[in-house]
Structure formats: C-alpha cells, structure tokens
Homo-oligomer: A and B are copies of this chain.
Amino acid sequence: MSPEERRAFQDYYPDSTKHCYGCGSRNPDGYRIQSFAEGDEAVCRFTPEPFHTAVPGAVYGGLIASLIDCHGTGTAAWEAYRAVDRPMDSDPPLRFVTGSLRVSYRKPTPLGVELVLRARATEVGDRKVRVAVQVEAGGVVTAEGEVVAVRIPEAWLASLASGSGP
C-alpha cells in the first residue's frame, strides 16, 4: 500500500474544517473517525466504546448514524476528486457537508466488535454526491445508509478560513 493510500480522506480536509465531532482531527473530544480507499471502495473501521449502548449489548443507533454521516461525506470528497482525476491535496479543496441522511437498521449491531463501514458513490455531480454505506459487524450487515453530500461553496470555505463562521 502506498503512503497516499494510508492517508485518511479527512487528513486532506482544509484545516478550517477539521473540527467535526465525528471526524475532525482537530476535535480532541470527538470520534476522529478515518476513511480510507480500499480498491474502489471507501472503508472506515470503528470500535464503539462500551457505553455506546442502545439496549444492552447493542450499539447506539445515533452513533451508527454519525459514522455513516462522516464516512459518507468523506467518501463524497474522495469520489469527487476521483471524478475529476485530481489528487485530494490539490486545489481548490472539495469539501462536503451532509444534505440528507437515511439509515435503515436491519438488526441489532453487537457491541464489543469492530464495525466496518463500506461506501461507494452512486451519483457524482459537481455540487452533490450520493453515497451508499453498509455497516458490518463480524461480517454481517446490520445497517445500511445513504448520504446526500453537498459541496461546501468556495465562499463559505473562505469565510470559515477567515474565522467568520458558517
């Protein structure tokens, strides 16, 4: 695996947008999830904490939604760069936020094992990328989701970089 492949998608985000509770490397209180390319698939691995409970023994659905959300927007960025054949560290940055999120909980997701999220884009537009995500626990798909990710306009990115807020 090349060094390029080992760098997480989130490492390429502009510094001014690295504060996300789900995936920001500059948020010490957050989950700091990371997404990586594995062939044509984007993969995120995350082991919930024992207190991330739904009913006892099962993973909290809100955490599963959070993982799908952040892995979805990360995958959207990766797919957007791929679509225009640009490396993720090239300018202008392609950074996405969530327009909508859908999660289907197929069965209880067991606590105590690593979760593997696998994602692919199903639609790549200039401003909008649709991403399908599957959540696996012990090789079994327990939840499926879809993220419609919307590209952050350059003016908004500029205002974040200057600290004037969203």
**Residues of chain A whose beta carbon lies under 8 Å from any beta carbon of chain B:** 16-17, 19-22, 24, 27-30, 49, 51-58, 60-63, 65-67, 69-70, 97-105, 108, 110, 152, 160, 163, 165-166
- Residues of B near A49 (CB, < 8 A) are 29
Distance A20 CA – B51 CA, assembled complex (angstroms): 8
Docked pose: A37 CA to B28 CA in angstroms: 36
Copies in the complex: 2
Q: Is the CB of B166 within 8 A of A61?
A: no
Which residue from B30, B51, B58, B97 sits with its C-beta under 8 Å from A61?
Answer: B97
Which of A30, A58, A65, A105 counts the most B-chain CB atoms under 10 A from its CB?
A65
Chain B residues, Cβ within 8 Å of A101: 61, 65, 101-103, 105
Q: Which residues of B contact A58 (CB under 8 A)?
A: 166
